[in-house]
Amino acid sequence: MIPLKETNISDDLEDITLIQESLQGSKTSLEKLLSRHRDFIYNLSLRMFLDPDDASDATQDILIKIITSLQNFQGKSKFRTWLYRIVVNHFLNSEKRKMEHWIDSSKEIYEIKSPPANEELFQEDTIEEVRILCSTAMLMCLNREQRLLYILSEVFEINHSLGAELFQISKGNYRIKLHRAKSDLLEFVSGRCGLIDEKNPCRCKKKTTALIREGKVNPNNLKFNSDYTQNIQEILTKERIDTSYKIRIELKDLFQDSPYFIKQKIDNMLENLVKVDHF
């Protein structure tokens, strides 16, 4: 499930019950509470930092912050809003991760590679790995705040009212910042990706050969196109936006047609966290 979408009263009440039981010492309730939100945190982290290991580290850091701050939750807002404000603040203020340093020093992942003379053939799952990696890497052209704004609003479809609340800015300012992020991303992608515009030269099959030779992709150790059961589009309740800008829809679909990892990668992390008395 996507916790930032509208929730019903029973979901909110269950959160409150689990909080109360957790603060009374129930580690089972604490694990259940965190499990309702951990997958989203991990998937957001993965799209922010483009590396599964960094995403796991960020998820663990955020979960620890949530656990240690839980007794400060006063119920003045929905728990999910309070929780994801912690998430937003963590992403805006945490240190740079390795892929951000790499992108800062080298734009090579964005460069259009000429196909080799004898182009190699790869399995479809490897090509899909490159598609996911490359589309996620496109987001790295945005600064940290823009990236977070875009992912929350366009990929996970939170509304502007909630987005403004999470960033603690006015709705008008939120819309302005989001518009700039969309415009910057669209300008960057429009002349590059063949999935967005068939006139563009970059194709996943071409990029696969180049990234394998550079050691960026290992066909025997896929990081993105493995260990998941759904994609983002399948989890979201889709409500199509009526727009004349077809490329904007295609760009949004490109990011939403990516894996949404559920449980497998972070089960052990959560189990170990709740064993520690953080209160």
Half-sphere exposure of 27 (CA within 13 A, CB side): 9
Residue 245: its pLDDT value, please?
41
Residue with the two structure tokens 């089972």: 28
Q: What is the per-residue pLDDT across 130-186, written as a single tens digit (0 to 9) for each?
A: 777 777 778 888 899 999 999 999 888 899 999 999 999 999 999 999 999 999 988
Is residue 109 domain-resident? yes
Higher pLDDT, residue 91 or 7:
91
Distance, first Cα to last Cα, the chain: 28
C-alpha distances out from residue 34 to 45, 268, 277, Å: 16, 13, 15
Is residue 22 domain-resident? yes
Residue 29: its pLDDT value, please?
94
Residue 112: its pLDDT value, please?
46
The predicted model gives 107-133 an average pLDDT of 63
The predicted model gives 183-202 an average pLDDT of 76
Residue 212: its pLDDT value, please?
77
51-60, 208-217, 249-258, 261-270: which range is least confident on average? 261-270
Identify the domain containing residue 174 by its residue range: 9-275
Is residue 43 domain-resident? yes
Q: Phi and psi for 230 in degrees, rounded to 5?
A: -140, 165
- 110 DSSP 8-state letter: G
Is residue 4 domain-resident? no
Is residue 224 domain-resident? yes
Total domains present in the chain: 1
Residue 174: its pLDDT value, please?
96
Residues paired with 193 in a beta bridge: 202
Higher pLDDT, residue 137 or 36:
36
Residue with the two structure tokens 């800015």: 169
CA–chain centroid gap for 214, Å, is 25
Is residue 66 domain-resident? yes
Question: pTM of the prediction?
Answer: 0.78
Q: What is the distance between the alpha carbons of residues 88 and 148, in angstroms, rounded to a whole number?
A: 8
| pLDDT > 50? residue 223 | yes
Is residue 167 domain-resident? yes
| pLDDT > 60? residue 239 | no
* Helices and strands in the chain: count of H runs, count of E runs: 14, 2
Q: What is the distance between the alpha carbons of residues 146 and 148, in angstroms, rounded to a whole number?
A: 5
CA–chain centroid gap for 187, Å, is 21
Is residue 3 domain-resident? no
| pLDDT > 70? residue 4 | no
| pLDDT > 90? residue 96 | no
Beta-carbon contacts of 74 under 8 Å, excluding residues fewer than 6 positions away, are none
CA angle 192, 198, 202 (to 5 degrees): 35
| pLDDT > 70? residue 9 | no
Beta-carbon contacts of 16 under 8 Å, excluding residues fewer than 6 positions away, are 75, 79
